[in-house]
């Protein structure tokens, strides 16, 4: 059974959630990464606009990679560098061992390199009798405890000072106090002889530059500069995707890396290497060697795969880990193989195989935040959905995920049998049975079904607008149709009040749960159907308006990716709007403002659903509420509330329990804010927030009933 496959994952999640101190430490670290990035963007000319430049540069360079790699090799060799192209990790290991034998090497000083970590280079070198020493402090700590990196940028973030102090006490035989200055003093004393006496220095490279044949290495400790320059032999292992065309491209990456990772500009040490110079004036060290190993290891296949090519745009900043809601509470030893976090799923699939990636891909709740923070705008949510899809072709879907992908069918049945279905939802024995049989959490309070759907109500309505100033095709989706038709009708009334003709054309549901759980065949079928049904109205001058953020996101963001070669999908996306941004624009156009005293004295906290961030970040809804006289503020942690669409409706550790753990910091913020109620446009986030905060939760339209 598919569920048996994840028993080890469940155990690791349980272990991670039970370690309160490490969980708090990790949450603090990733939040600091988000906050410092956000602060830096406030001072950076153009703010986050650099992301478009990074994206364009990576697209261009990966498209032209065969030529750029050839040019890089030619120019590097002109500078006296030996260049070797390795098909896989085994060839890298063999090349390094040959060099070590040639030089009679005993000690290799290594700078932090995820590329060598992914191919697990250290172990075979050590087994061959070499003393391999990681010189980056975080990597050294990981090496001493024989663990994998916990975070891309902060590999030992899960280790606390007392643990680290004991490590170095055991290593050096000296008593080390458990404070940072004491630890650093001992580390410096331990590392200095290694830097000065290692036989081979080994690094990765953040960038390879085709036009010059040089590499660039960025660090905050200066260790890469030392190991690459002192010894007689330097080996650089670099993934082929790191090669860019020009120095200007490299300078762009040098800015994007630290800004995205930690809000720095730039890292403390930026080392440019174009071959190796002789040490001293006498030229006595003329035999100093420089070797660059360009690693493929699945990258060519990724480049040739249209669904996975974007993984090669990754610049290794770790920003996706800093914002990922599940990574933020379980960490890299749960959410990852060697390469952790959201990009870790994509990269693991490319270099370690689909099955290995599938072992932890279910930790992605498809919130989409990794794409929104990524400096190269990599569509990780889509790639991860594709990995889930391909994995399920051979391994099958979890039963509960199949249920969630068919939630619209369950809602339709629930509405048709509303009295019976609603009684079942309120019955604890029935809910316990449902949890056991299909995995739907018995702890969640689910919204009741309406006996008469929105579609049925709307069909009986008489249009009220005779000379419309705008025409709108209303997209309903599941909740407003089957659970709360009153909400859908209120949206229609608000649009008509502002002079809009509103129609509800034939349509399917958005299909986003199919994307979230990797049902890509079904997702594309639904997307194609909605494009065919809605685009003719767009061509007649109708705008498409939706009230559920995830539905709007599906139409505006997901469909053009699912249907890349369909221009109508792009047309539909460009003409899809959130309700309140549309209403605000109408109010500004007509001068028809609402009653500004309607909600005077009320104070609300707004929750922006994850899928709303690339649309309008909830600014339309908040502006609309303020125009009614209320005080409303955005309250957020910078990541997801934890619901993750229907993820939080599932029972157990890979559902409700993990969802609640993710939401705890946000619940605390809302409770401490002193607001009267929570406002959100997401029907599923409202379930999570009501449970976690114990505050009233409203859709903005429902506020009209409070005066």
* 598 & 584 share domain: no
Q: Which of 295, 329, 353 is the last residue of a domain?
A: 295
Q: What is the pLDDT of residues 543-577, one digit of tens each?
A: 999 999 999 999 999 999 999 999 999 999 999 99
Mean pLDDT value across residues 496-516: 96
Residue given tokens 């540069």 in the structure block: 57
Q: What is the mean pLDDT of residues 624-630?
A: 95
pLDDT score at 595:
80
Specify whether 326 is located in the same domain as 464: no
DSSP letter at 542 equals: P
Residue 679, domain CATH: 3.40.50
Sequence-distant (6+) residues with CB within 8 A of 59 are: 313
Residue 508 lies in a domain: yes
What CATH number does the domain containing 193 carry? 3.40.1080
| Ramachandran area for residue 173 (φ above 0: left; ψ -120 to 50: alpha; else beta) | left
Residue 654 burial class via C-beta count within 10 angstroms: exposed 0-12, middle 13-18, buried 19 and up: buried
176 and 211 belong to one structural domain: yes
Report whether 338 contacts 152 (CB < 8 A).
no
Tell whether 181 and 322 lie within a shared domain.
Answer: no
One DSSP character per residue, 41-71 reads: HHHSTTGGGHHHHHHHHHHHHHHTHHHHHHH
Based on the domain organization, do 561 and 601 belong to the same domain?
Answer: no
Range 131-151 burial, b when 16+ CB lie within 10 A, else e = ebbbbbbbbbbbbbeeeebbb
Whether residues 327 and 355 fall in one domain: yes
Q: Nearest Cα to 153, choosing from 172, 175, 171, 138?
A: 138
Is residue 318 located within the same domain as residue 265? no
The answer to whether 592 and 496 are in contact (CB under 8 A) is no
Does residue 75 lie in a domain region? yes
Q: pLDDT value at position 701? A: 96
Question: pLDDT (tens digit, 9 = 90+) per residue, 22-78?
Answer: 899 899 999 999 999 999 999 999 999 999 999 999 999 999 999 999 999 999 999
Which CATH number do you get for residue 345?
A: 1.10.1060.10
Residue with tokens 């990852």: 336
Domain endpoint, select from 295, 323, 339: 295
Residue 277 has pLDDT above 80, yes or no: no
Exposed / middle / buried, residue 405 (Cβ in 10 Å: 0-12, 13-18, 19+): buried
Rounded to 5 degrees, what angle do the CA atoms 343, 349, 352 make? 115
Distance CA 558, CA 550 (A): 10
* Any domain includes 466: yes
| 481 lies in the same domain as 564 | yes
Angstrom distances, CA of residue 107 to CA of 34, 235, 288, 500, 567: 38, 13, 16, 75, 58
Count CA atoms within 13 Å of residue 289 on its CB side: 15
| pLDDT (tens digit per residue) in 132-163 | 999 999 999 999 999 999 998 889 888 989 99
Note the pTM of the prediction, 2 decimals: 0.95
Q: Report yes or no on 610 lying in a domain.
A: yes
Pair (80, 223) in one structural domain: yes
Give the CA angle between residues 335, 339, 342 to the nearest 5°: 55
Give the contacts of 571 (CB within 8 A, at least 6 positions apart).
535, 538, 539
Cβ proximity of 395 and 5 under 8 Å: yes
In a domain, 33, yes or no: no
**91 domain residue, yes or no:** yes
Cβ–Cβ contacts within 10 Å for residue 193, how many? 10
Please check whether residue 403 lies inside any domain of the structure.
no
Same domain, 570 and 617: no
pLDDT averaged over the chain? 95
What domain range includes position 235? Answer: 70-275+291-295
Q: What is the CATH number of the domain that holds 522?
A: 1.20.1050
Instruction: Looking at the structure, tell me whether residues 502 and 483 fall in a common domain.
Output: yes
**Do 105 and 126 sit in the same domain of this protein?**
yes
Burial of 98 (0-12, 13-18, 19+ CB in 10 A): exposed
State residue 1's pLDDT score: 47
Mean pLDDT of 679-689: 98
Q: Does residue 370 lie within any of the structural domains?
A: yes
pLDDT by residue (tens digit) across 442-451? 999 999 999 9
Question: Of the candidates 355, 370, 396, which is a domain's last residue?
Answer: 396
Give pLDDT tens digits for 3-38: 688 999 999 999 999 999 889 989 999 999 999 999
Number of domain units in the chain: 4
User: What does the pLDDT read at residue 679?
Assistant: 98
């Amino acid at each position: 059974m598919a569920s048996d496959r994840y028993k080890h994952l469940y155990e690791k999640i349980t272990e991670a959630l039970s370690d309160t101190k490490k969980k708090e430490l990790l949450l603090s670290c990733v939040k600091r990464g988000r906050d410092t990035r956000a602060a830096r963007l406030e001072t950076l000319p153009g703010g986050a606009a650099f992301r478009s430049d990074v994206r364009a540069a990576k697209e261009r360079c990966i498209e032209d990679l065969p030529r750029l790699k050839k040019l890089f090799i030619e120019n590097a060799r002109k500078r006296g560098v030996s260049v070797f192209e390795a098909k896989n990790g085994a060839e890298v290991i063999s090349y390094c061992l040959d060099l070590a034998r040639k030089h009679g090497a005993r000690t290799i000083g290594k700078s932090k390199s995820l590329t060598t970590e992914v191919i697990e280079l250290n172990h075979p070198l050590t087994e061959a009798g070499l003393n391999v020493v990681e010189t980056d402090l975080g990597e050294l700590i990981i090496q001493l405890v024989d663990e994998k990196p916990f975070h891309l940028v902060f590999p030992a973030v899960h280790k606390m000072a007392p643990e680290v102090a004991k490590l170095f006490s055991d290593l050096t035989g000296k008593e080390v106090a458990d404070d940072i200055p004491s630890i650093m003093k001992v580390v410096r004393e331990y590392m200095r002889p290694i830097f000065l006496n290692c036989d081979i220095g080994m690094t990765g490279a953040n960038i390879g530059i085709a036009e010059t044949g040089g590499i660039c290495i960025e660090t905050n400790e200066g260790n890469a500069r030392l190991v690459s320059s002192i010894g007689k032999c330097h080996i650089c292992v670099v993934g082929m995707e790191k090669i860019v065309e020009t120095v200007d491209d490299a300078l762009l990456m040098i800015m994007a890396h630290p800004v995205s990772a930690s809000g720095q500009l730039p890292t403390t040490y930026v080392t440019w290497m174009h071959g190796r110079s002789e040490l001293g004036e006498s030229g006595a060290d003329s035999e100093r060697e420089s070797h660059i190993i360009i690693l493929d290891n699945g990258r060519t296949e990724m480049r040739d795969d249209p669904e996975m090519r974007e993984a090669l745009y990754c610049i290794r900043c770790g920003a996706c880990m800093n914002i990922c809601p599940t990574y933020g509470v379980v960490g890299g030893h749960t959410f990852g193989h060697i390469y952790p976090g959201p990009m870790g799923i994509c990269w693991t699939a490319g270099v370690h195989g689909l099955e290995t990636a599938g072992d932890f891909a279910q930790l992605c709740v498809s919130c989409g935040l990794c794409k929104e923070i990524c400096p190269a705008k990599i569509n990780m949510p889509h790639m991860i959905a594709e990995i889930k899809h391909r994995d399920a072709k051979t391994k099958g879907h979890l039963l509960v995920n199949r249920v969630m992908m068919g939630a619209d069918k369950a809602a339709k049945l629930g509405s048709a049998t509303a009295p019976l279905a609603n009684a079942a939802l309120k019955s604890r024995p029935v809910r316990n049975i449902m949890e056991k049989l299909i995995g739907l959490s018995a702890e969640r309070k689910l919204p009741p079904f309406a006996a008469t759907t929105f579609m049925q109500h709307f069909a009986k309505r008489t249009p009220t607008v005779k000379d419309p100033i705008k025409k709108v095709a209303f997209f309903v989706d599941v909740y407003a149709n089957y659970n709360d038709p009153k909400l859908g009708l209120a949206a229609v009334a608000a649009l008509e009040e502002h002079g809009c003709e509103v129609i509800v054309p034939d349509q399917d549901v958005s299909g986003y749960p199919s994307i979230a759980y990797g049902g890509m065949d079904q997702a594309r079928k639904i997307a194609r159907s909605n494009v065919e049904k809605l685009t003719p109205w767009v061509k007649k001058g109708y705008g498409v308006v939706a009230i559920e953020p995830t539905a709007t996101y599906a139409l505006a963001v997901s469909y053009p990716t699912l249907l890349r070669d369909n221009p109508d999908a792009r047309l539909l996306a460009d003409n899809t709007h959130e309700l309140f941004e549309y209403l605000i624009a109408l109010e500004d156009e007509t001068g028809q403002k609402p009653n500004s005293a309607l909600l005077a004295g009320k104070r609300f906290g707004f929750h922006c659903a994850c899928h709303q961030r690339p649309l309008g970040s909830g600014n339309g809804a908040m502006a609309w509420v303020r125009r009614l006289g209320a005080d409303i503020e955005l309250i957020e942690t910078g990541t997801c509330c934890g619901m993750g669409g229907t993820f939080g409706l599932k029972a157990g550790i890979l559902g409700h329990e993990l969802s609640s753990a993710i939401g705890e910091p946000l619940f605390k913020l809302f409770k401490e804010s002193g607001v009267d109620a929570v406002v959100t446009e997401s029907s599923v986030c409202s379930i999570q927030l009501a449970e976690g905060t114990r505050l009233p939760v409203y859709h903005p339209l429902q506020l009209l009933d409070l005066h």
